[in-house]
Amino acid sequence: MNQNNTNYLKEKYKKIYDKHFFGFSIDNGWFKIIDELLEKIQSYNIKIIDIKEKFGGLRVYTTPYDEEAQEIINYYESLSYDTCERCGNVGESRPTGWIRTLCDRCYASKYFQYKSCYKYWNTRYVICG
């Protein structure tokens, strides 16, 4: 996620992050999902440990476990499977070397049409053009 979005979420919800919070290992397309999720769960007695993408979906890890908060987290994680990670438009699961949720436009961008995922791994977050 870009620095502006990261700073915004860290400042707006500064009390919800665990002291060992890893950060936001996601792209900008899921910003709205994360913002709405954190708004809903900030009143629970939990701390966020990590927010990342895994197998094309959003993952949010908290401590301690709270069943009610987890139901809310599960709902927002499910939204990520239909939302492009890069731009926030409607997306679907795509094989790109990693499983990613992307819209047609982002998937068609030349970055995702590579032959070896290992050759380009360090350019993973190219802006949709």
- Stated pTM of the model: 0.82
Rounded CA separation 5/94 (Å)? 25
* Helix residue spans in 2-129 (DSSP H): 3-12, 31-41, 67-80, 104-108
pLDDT digits (tens, 9 = 90+) for 90-129: 999 998 778 999 999 999 885 555 433 434 444 444 443 3
Instruction: List the domain boundaries for the chain.
Output: 3-123
Mean pLDDT of the chain: 87
Sheet holding 24-25, edge to edge: 24-25, 47-54, 57-63
Q: Within 10 Å of residue 67's Cβ, how many Cβ atoms?
A: 6
